[in-house]
A and B are shown apart, each in its own frame.
Chain A
Amino acid sequence: MFRRLYGASPLHLLALIATVLIAGAAVVGWFDSFPGPTAAKVLAWFVGAIVAHDLVLLPLYSLIDRITLGRPAARRSWIAYVRIPALLSGLLFLVFFPEILRLGDHTFFAASGFHQRVYLARYLLTCAALFALSGVAYAVSLRRRRQRVRPRTPPSRHRSPPAP
């Protein structure tokens, strides 16, 4: 009977009530510790984080992927070699953009006595290394594939190298 009305077992409901109450106590904690407008800003960041990820960041990278991919079946051999370094570069930017863009330089200098200016160059060089490594991996895979396709054909000295 309960299951038909509620849609799950009573245990589910009890655990859910406990979860919501703990979360509620945490929200009360925010409002007890901060002046009203600041606590509201915390809640705005909480909700904003969901919107920023689910409705901005994820659609954005999916869209970029879909546009750059075009028709995947047509030329899929090279896609991974661009997509993987691009994904990793994007991840590094997402995690380290505050220091790459020196958004905390003032506070960082007060704390450590250093500036954040080294990170932009490190980031660019790391991305360069990722794409270069990926290029090498692609070249190796092309070579392997050619050897697989024509295992018996003796190599011709007069053949021009195929376009990548």
Chain B
Amino acid sequence: MTRPPGPFRREFWRSPLRGPWLTAVFSAALLVAIPIVAVTGFLSNDAYYPRLGTNSVGRPLGPLDVYLFPFPTHPSWVYALNQGLHVTIGLAAVPIVLAKLWSVIPKLFEWPPLRSPAHALERLSLALLVGGALFEFATGILNIEYSYLFGFFFTTAHYYGAWVFTAAFVFHAAIKLGTMRRALAARRTMAVLRERLEDTRPEPVDNELVPVAPAAPSMSRRALLGTVGAGSLFLLVQGAGQSIGGPLRGLALFAPRSLHRGGPNGFPVNRTALAAQITSHQVGSGWRLRLRAGNRTATLSRDELLRMPQRTYDLPIACVEGWSTTQRWTGVPVSDLARLVGVDGRFSVETRSIADNGVFDSATLSAHQTDDARTLLAMRVNGVDLSLDHGYPARVIGPGIPGVHCTKWAGTMTFERA
């Protein structure tokens, strides 16, 4: 079978930089980054407790839903850290993924296309790997920028995409680890990094990635690695800025959540009262919090809630999209509310918002989350009443809880003994 023309010919690929060493450098970086992104992604799903109430937001649980341990509530910023890592390392990995794919693109056109059953199946696994990576990065990035071009529910699509990507990644890493180590050992990294443009030659090995008819170099390897590294670092700062906050937030020029206002209620929100269609009538003096456990019920006004013993804790609001902000919250521990309807031991609680036009208008906190005395129904933040955008008259807040489970504009809390 003769080779078709164009990219199927080895002379077509001319960059003198391509070779097993360069690919192995990108692989080594991704071997650190991708496991962090994957593990934090699955942990985030864990933190949502998809088995409880409507927490899986319409995704029927299947055999892939294995939960080994409850997501922790200590330290209180554990979910902020998890999501900060997921999104920040994910963003920083983008240029490395692109560079790695550029470095191996001749393999897409290798000839003959199928050499053996093993080779054919391996190429199928590469379709899962590359498709999984690009799908996960594309949907994740569109999601943090609120651009739902894809037209399907993000969480579910991203979750199962992660399984495809992770499975293919583990397989690929397992079969290529030796190749990567040999390629890295073949050259002295520092010597390569000292090469100037005029010293740049193709890698001195017989390998299908190394061009047979190289063009004159127009960039040294250190310039290429430096460019990829600079891009990665810039994106890292964007993610870290909106996650760590403080002065770093100002550096995150492109972070979706670099924008905020001043004042005690100026920190970011994930849903405005306007979008939730909350009217002043609903949250006026007629507002009541309803508590339920079995057939016991109780009803409390905001003044009655404020007369209960109040607790104040510094807790982050941590969004699945990777931004977070720590504020000082004051309110009533949910376990005190549980006792008003006769629940003394461990319990889970579903909080339903008076908003009823959103995906997360109701969320269930697990017994593990309510065990923590810092899980509050908050009425105040930073010494003042919550603003309407932050969930006035009362909202849920607690340690290690994903932001969208900190239900705003609380209406009804239903307790269930665990």
Name the CB-closest residue of A to B59: A33
In the complex, are the beta carbons of B147 and A103 less than 8 A apart? Answer: yes
Residues of A in contact, count (CB < 8 Å):
68
The reply to whether the CB of B145 lies closer than 8 angstroms to some CB of chain A is yes
Q: A22-B167, A111-B270 are in contact. Are A30 and B160 (CB under 8 A)?
A: yes
Contact of B108 among A46, A52, A54 (CB under 8 A): A54
Q: A7-B116, A111-B275 are in contact. Are A19 and B223 (CB under 8 A)?
A: no
The reply to whether the CB of B397 lies closer than 8 angstroms to some CB of chain A is no
In the complex, are the beta carbons of B101 and A53 less than 8 A apart? Answer: yes
Residues of B in contact, count (CB < 8 Å):
81
The reply to whether the CB of A91 lies closer than 8 angstroms to some CB of chain B is yes
Name the CB-closest residue of A to B259: A114
Contact of B148 among A34, A104, A119 (CB under 8 A): A104
Please, how many angstroms separate the alpha-carbon atoms of A12 and B118 in the complex?
8
- In the complex, how many angstroms separate the beta carbon of A39 from the nearest chain B beta carbon? 8
> Could you say which residues of chain B place their CB within 8 Å of the CB of A28?
62
In the complex, are the beta carbons of A7 and B152 less than 8 A apart? Answer: no
Please, how many angstroms separate the alpha-carbon atoms of A40 and B268 in the complex?
36
In the complex, are the beta carbons of B147 and A72 less than 8 A apart? Answer: no
Please, how many angstroms separate the alpha-carbon atoms of A7 and B94 in the complex?
33
Please, how many angstroms separate the alpha-carbon atoms of A74 and B336 in the complex?
78
Please, how many angstroms separate the alpha-carbon atoms of A88 and B119 in the complex?
36
The reply to whether the CB of A95 lies closer than 8 angstroms to some CB of chain B is yes
- In the complex, how many angstroms separate the beta carbon of A23 from the nearest chain B beta carbon? 5
In the complex, are the beta carbons of B145 and A104 less than 8 A apart? Answer: yes
A-B contact count (CB 8 A): 223
Q: What 1/0 flags go to B41-80 for Cβ under 8 Å of A?
A: 0000000000000000011101110000000000000000
Q: What 1/0 flags go to B266-303 for Cβ under 8 Å of A?
A: 00111110110000000000000000000000000000
In the complex, are the beta carbons of A41 and B256 less than 8 A apart? Answer: no
Q: A49-B138, A113-B389 are in contact. Are A13 and B118 (CB under 8 A)?
A: yes
In the complex, are the beta carbons of B168 and A19 less than 8 A apart? Answer: yes
List A66-124 residues whose CB lies under 8 Å from chain B. Answer: 69, 72-73, 76, 79-80, 83-84, 87-88, 91-92, 94-96, 98-99, 103-105, 107-114, 116, 118-119, 122-123
- In the complex, how many angstroms separate the beta carbon of B318 from the nearest chain A beta carbon? 15
Could you list 19 examples of A-B contacts with CB < 8 Å? Answer: A6-B116, A7-B116, A13-B118, A15-B171, A19-B125, A19-B170, A23-B167, A26-B163, A29-B156, A33-B59, A33-B156, A50-B131, A79-B219, A80-B197, A88-B231, A99-B145, A107-B146, A108-B145, A122-B253
Q: Which 3 residue pairs of A and B lie closest in terms of their CB atoms, listed nearest first?
A: A7-B116, A7-B118, A104-B147
